C-alpha cells in the first residue's frame, strides 16, 4: 500500500537552503541562520503564512545590517523551497537561479548578482 511522503519540516527547508548557499559550511552567518531554526520540526506547510516574518526576524539577528548577500540568497532560497518543495533536491545552481528570480523578480541587487556570479550562477 502506498504511503504519502513525510512532510518536510521548516528546519529541513532552512538546512537545504544553507547547504546550497554554503556547501563548504564555511560561512558563520549561515550557520547562525540555520541555528535559529534547529528546533523547528513542524511541517513547513503549517508556517507558510508566517514564514516571511519568521525568516526576517532570523535574518535581522544574524545580519543586522542586511548587507550580506549570502544571507539574502539563503533567505530567498528558504522562501522558494518552502513553496516549491518539489525542487528540494534540484541541483544547487538551479535552485539559486530560480530562488533569486522569484525573490527579486529577475532583478537582484548588484551584491547578490556578484555573489551568484562567483558561484557560476546567472539569473
pLDDT in tens, 5-61: 789 999 999 999 999 999 999 999 999 999 999 999 999 999 999 999 999 999 999
Cell of 56: 526576517
In the predicted structure, residue 2 carries a pLDDT above the cut 70: no
- Residue with the larger pLDDT of the pair 5 and 94: 94
Averaged over 92-113, what is the pLDDT? 97
pTM for the complete prediction? 0.94
* 28/78 Cα distance (integer angstroms): 17
* 8/121 Cα distance (integer angstroms): 26
In the predicted structure, residue 3 carries a pLDDT above the cut 90: no
With a CB cutoff of 8 Å and minimum separation 6, the contacts of 91 are: none
Amino acid at each position: 500500500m502506498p504511503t504519502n511522503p513525510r512532510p518536510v519540516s521548516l528546519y529541513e527547508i532552512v538546512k537545504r537552503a544553507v547547504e546550497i548557499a554554503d556547501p563548504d559550511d564555511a560561512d558563520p552567518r549561515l550557520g547562525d541562520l540555520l541555528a535559529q531554526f534547529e528546533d523547528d520540526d513542524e511541517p513547513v506547510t503549517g508556517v507558510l503564512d508566517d514564514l516571511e516574518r519568521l525568516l526576517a526576524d532570523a535574518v535581522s539577528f544574524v545580519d543586522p545590517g542586511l548587507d550580506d548577500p549570502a544571507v539574502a540568497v539563503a533567505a530567498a532560497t528558504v522562501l522558494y523551497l518552502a513553496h516549491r518543495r518539489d525542487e528540494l533536491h534540484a541541483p544547487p545552481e538551479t535552485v539559486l537561479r530560480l530562488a533569486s528570480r522569484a525573490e527579486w523578480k529577475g532583478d537582484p541587487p548588484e551584491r547578490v548578482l556578484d555573489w551568484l556570479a562567483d558561484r557560476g550562477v546567472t539569473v
